[in-house]
A and B are shown apart, each in its own frame.
Chain A
């Protein structure tokens, strides 16, 4: 079965390019521009294996979004895709199994790295 991926990023260009690349890799990809939309999507029943989450978002930020999403879909895996170099992974996110290998700093010149991580997370799931 194809991996299902949710991309959350308020920069449409990034969301679009990620979606395009992952789709070319044969994944099912949906993208949203805010945490609130993502949450609504999941609460309304959508299921994803992996979520690629931007951190700085309008409204609810990435950290909070993951906490809420995790509450709804405990088995969903996350990739943190941030524009901040000095991002410190909060302890509660570590506690739900997010490791430093899941942190990617923007800009990402080669999305192949992302694909490998998504696959391994999907398999582990």
Chain B
């Protein structure tokens, strides 16, 4: 410690005081804090070694100088003024109090210090002793603390997920901007609100239970997928995680939680889900059989039609070799490999497939799966039996039109020789008969016994041969006239007719039909009528439609007679309206037809009758008349043993427009 001379001068210290003075000096010299004593003028009287260390001045440069040298501005300039003010009755601003101020080192650097000043009275003079504690070290800790708080705040403020803290009752204490933005509130608005206020009503109970479990220490934290309510009422889906904060004593003080918006993710997931269901729906709703396979031929997809066709459920089929679960397609394995290798579809037209004892035709398309590097193929199979049948029908109809055209041209040429054949045969039979007087006259003239001749002709089968000529000629003439029907052009003779009138006319005709009467007794058939009286007239070619109806009624009568249908045999005749169509139904309780017969019934020359009985053209002529000449439709509804119903639909839109 360096002192000014006057401070030590005349100091009459007692022995203990001397000891105390030495000790004090040692303490002051050893102190970490600087001690600087100034007089009333502000001059430094005394400074300890710590002062030297702290400010960088040698003690020799300090003593006797104004203490303001140790202060930065503005204190540097004002210190004398402070001192003066105090000495002349001013209030204590620092003395006995102490405060944080700045010090100035010799090198000009400024550093924080804690200054406490004591006033000392000695020999009528006042001194001020300043104890200066270097705050640099503590300051940097505080700065670090402040920095880390600032950093934490910045982190929270900029965190992309919502973070909030709440008290144990669930009242929000603080939220970050992301949390506020998520819920559409200002931060100040949220503070003080309860979690329940921002939770979807249906999720409040669940949230409350989890929160209570957390607060009561049953769980250390929880994660909850829940819905929040935004300020504007919108619902958002979010994942909430919460944890409990305890104080040093382990008592729960608050809950901190983070909230992540899941709305978009959920929507995306839902969209994927929806898209997946939609694609599945598309695949399942396809009438085609659709089988997805990998490059090994194992099933990866199996739609409803595939299930239906095979009777094997999708879950059972997937993973199996398709050749095992769909043996009909076994031959397609080669095509699967081909399609994958060549990167293009491979098609098989008209693959015959046996189904319930019936041959059906399938079109099979195998196409490779190319997207996303997936290796595999899809086998699509369509039943094209109906299409082929319709195509064949069309081809047949075309043929019949051609034949009909030819027949029309040839009708006269054919009908003349047929007339000769038939009429000659009739004359032949008559002229060998013993019943005709003219025959007897001539026979007597020649000495011939007609009875003997008759027996001879019978015995040798000559009569049968002649009958054979007649029957064959009759049949040929019917075929010609049926074929002629195909040559007729439509619509020129369409007139308005009541369908029930036509049916009645046809019933009368059938009852008197020679051919029908000869083989079957039409009177034994009950005709049941169910006519719609409100059904008006329909534009049609009366003769043609009557031909169709007669054909249907005769077919019914024949079928029932041939099958030996037990009485009562019935034919139901019905007319009704169906939208823009007038319907005629001809129904019987006869033997019915199987599915194959139903499908082929309209084909030309398809007949179930004994060879030689019909022309095989009756229904195809009917089909032609209804569909081609009248643009209507004709269909069969029948099962074996359950009778048969034909339905004819004719448009009535035209009639009403007239």
* Any B CB within 8 A of the CB of A1: no
* Any B CB within 8 A of the CB of A67: no
* Any B CB within 8 A of the CB of A101: no
CB distance from B289 to the nearest CB of A (A): 49
Taking a contact as CB atoms under 8 Å apart, the answer to whether B426 and A107 are in contact is no
- With A and B bound together, what is the CA distance between A23 and B427 in angstroms? 11
Taking a contact as CB atoms under 8 Å apart, the answer to whether A109 and B484 are in contact is no
Taking a contact as CB atoms under 8 Å apart, the answer to whether A17 and B418 are in contact is no
For window 70-103 of A, CB contacts with B under 8 Å fall at 83-86
Taking a contact as CB atoms under 8 Å apart, the answer to whether A21 and B427 are in contact is yes
For window 412-446 of B, CB contacts with A under 8 Å fall at 412-413, 415-424, 426-427, 430-431, 436, 438
Taking a contact as CB atoms under 8 Å apart, the answer to whether B419 and A14 are in contact is yes
Taking a contact as CB atoms under 8 Å apart, the answer to whether B415 and A107 are in contact is yes
* Any A CB within 8 A of the CB of B473: yes
* Any B CB within 8 A of the CB of A56: yes
Taking a contact as CB atoms under 8 Å apart, the answer to whether A109 and B412 are in contact is no
Taking a contact as CB atoms under 8 Å apart, the answer to whether B416 and A83 are in contact is yes
- With A and B bound together, what is the CA distance between A85 and B424 in angstroms? 22
* Any B CB within 8 A of the CB of A106: yes
* Any A CB within 8 A of the CB of B488: yes
Closest residue to A113 on the B side, CB-wise?
A: B514
Taking a contact as CB atoms under 8 Å apart, the answer to whether A17 and B423 are in contact is yes
Residues of B within 8 A of A23 (CB): 438
Taking a contact as CB atoms under 8 Å apart, the answer to whether B419 and A84 are in contact is no
Q: How many residues of B contact A (CB 8 A)?
A: 27
CB distance from B441 to the nearest CB of A (A): 11
* Any A CB within 8 A of the CB of B396: no
Residues of A within 8 A of B419 (CB): 11, 13-14, 17, 83, 106-108
* Any A CB within 8 A of the CB of B551: no
- With A and B bound together, what is the CA distance between A17 and B477 in angstroms? 17
Q: A83-B415, A85-B484, A107-B418 in contact; A14/B436 too (CB < 8 A)? A: no
Instruction: Classify the interface of chain A: helix, strand, loop or mixed.
Output: loop
Residues of B within 8 A of A111 (CB): 423, 426
Q: Which of A84, A86, A109 contacts B488 (CB 8 A)?
A: A86
Taking a contact as CB atoms under 8 Å apart, the answer to whether B430 and A107 are in contact is no
Residues of B within 8 A of A84 (CB): 411-412
CB distance from A112 to the nearest CB of B (A): 9
Q: A24-B436, A106-B418 in contact; A85/B423 too (CB < 8 A)? A: no
* Any B CB within 8 A of the CB of A20: yes
Closest residue to B421 on the A side, CB-wise?
A: A107
* Any A CB within 8 A of the CB of B300: no
Residues of B within 8 A of A105 (CB): 415, 481
* Any A CB within 8 A of the CB of B637: no
Q: A109-B473, A109-B474 in contact; A17/B416 too (CB < 8 A)? A: no
CB distance from A26 to the nearest CB of B (A): 8
* Any B CB within 8 A of the CB of A18: yes
- With A and B bound together, what is the CA distance between A62 and B152 in angstroms? 120
- With A and B bound together, what is the CA distance between A20 and B420 in angstroms? 12
Closest residue to A12 on the B side, CB-wise?
A: B420
CB distance from A16 to the nearest CB of B (A): 8
Residues of A within 8 A of B438 (CB): 23-24
Q: A23-B438, A24-B430, A109-B474 in contact; A13/B424 too (CB < 8 A)? A: yes
CB distance from B544 to the nearest CB of A (A): 12
Q: How many residues of A contact B (CB 8 A)?
A: 21
Residues of A within 8 A of B423 (CB): 13-14, 17-18, 21, 107-108, 111
For window 460-485 of B, CB contacts with A under 8 Å fall at 470, 473-474, 477, 481, 484
Residues of B within 8 A of A20 (CB): 427, 431
Closest residue to B430 on the A side, CB-wise?
A: A24
Residues of B within 8 A of A83 (CB): 411-413, 415-416, 419
Q: A21-B430, A110-B426, A111-B426 in contact; A14/B411 too (CB < 8 A)? A: no
Taking a contact as CB atoms under 8 Å apart, the answer to whether B473 and A17 are in contact is no
- With A and B bound together, what is the CA distance between A105 and B416 in angstroms? 10
Residues of B within 8 A of A14 (CB): 416, 419-420, 423
- With A and B bound together, what is the CA distance between A44 and B408 in angstroms? 38
- With A and B bound together, what is the CA distance between A53 and B562 in angstroms? 41
Residues of B within 8 A of A109 (CB): 422, 426, 470, 473-474, 477
Residues of B within 8 A of A85 (CB): 408, 411, 481, 484
For window 40-55 of A, CB contacts with B under 8 Å fall at none
Residues of B within 8 A of A107 (CB): 415-416, 418-419, 421-423, 473, 477
CB distance from A116 to the nearest CB of B (A): 13
For window 476-512 of B, CB contacts with A under 8 Å fall at 477, 481, 484, 488
Residues of A within 8 A of B430 (CB): 21, 24
Q: Mark A5-49, 1 if CB is under 8 A from B, else 0.
A: 000000101100110110110000000000000000000000000
- With A and B bound together, what is the CA distance between A11 and B474 in angstroms? 19
CB distance from A81 to the nearest CB of B (A): 9
CB distance from B538 to the nearest CB of A (A): 23
- With A and B bound together, what is the CA distance between A8 and B3 in angstroms? 176
Most buried by B among A13, A106, A108: A106
Residues of A within 8 A of B417 (CB): 11, 13
Q: A109-B473, A109-B477 in contact; A11/B422 too (CB < 8 A)? A: no
Residues of A within 8 A of B431 (CB): 20, 24
- With A and B bound together, what is the CA distance between A32 and B477 in angstroms? 25
- With A and B bound together, what is the CA distance between A110 and B430 in angstroms? 12
What 7 pairs between A and B have smallest CB-CB spacing? A13-B420, A17-B423, A83-B412, A83-B415, A107-B418, A107-B419, A106-B415
22 contacts between A and B (CB under 8 A): A11-B416, A11-B417, A11-B420, A13-B420, A14-B423, A17-B419, A17-B423, A18-B423, A24-B436, A83-B411, A83-B416, A83-B419, A85-B408, A85-B481, A86-B408, A105-B415, A106-B419, A108-B423, A109-B426, A109-B474, A110-B426, A111-B423
